[in-house]
Amino acid sequence: MSEKNVVDLTVIVDFERRGVSGFWIDVNGRPELIPIKATEANSVTFEGGSNGSIQLSINGTVDRVTGKIDANETLLWRADSLSQRVWNLRCTPASL
C-alpha cells in the first residue's frame, strides 16, 4: 500500500486547557487550541471552527490507547470554493 501524503505533525492533547493543538496556527504562528468536546476512557473527541476570511471547521477523535487520530477538516474560501481534508494519523506518544 502506498502512502498519499506523509507529514510530520505535532499534535498535543492538553487536558488541563481542554483542547487539542497542532492542526491550525494563528496569525502569529502559535498553535490554535481546538476544544475537547468529550473525554472517555479510551478516546478524546474534539471539535472547533473559526470564521474569518476563511471559514474553518474540524472534528475528530484521538484514541488514547493507540494514539491514532481521525479528523475531518473543512475550509470554505471567500470565493465559495470548498476544501476538505481527512486526517488519518498514527501518532507516537511523547516521552514524559
The one-letter amino acid code at 93 reads: P
> How many angstroms separate the CA atoms of 45 and 61, rounded?
4
> Is 4 domain-assigned?
no
> Is 35 domain-assigned?
yes
Q: Are 84 and 72 in contact (CB under 8 A)?
A: yes
- Number of Cβ atoms within 10 Å of the Cβ of 9: 11
For the four alpha carbons of 61, 66, 68 and 69, in that order, the dihedral sign comes to positive
> Is 5 domain-assigned?
no
pLDDT digits (tens, 9 = 90+) for 65-86: 888 999 999 999 888 899 999 9
- Domain ranges, residue 22: 12-90
pLDDT digits (tens, 9 = 90+) for 5-50: 777 788 999 999 999 999 988 888 888 999 999 999 999 999 999 8
> Is 53 domain-assigned?
yes
> Is 33 domain-assigned?
yes
Element (H, E) at 57: strand 55-63
The one-letter amino acid code at 50 reads: S
> Is 7 domain-assigned?
no
pLDDT at 57: 95
> Is 96 domain-assigned?
no
> Is 65 domain-assigned?
yes
Domain count, the chain: 1
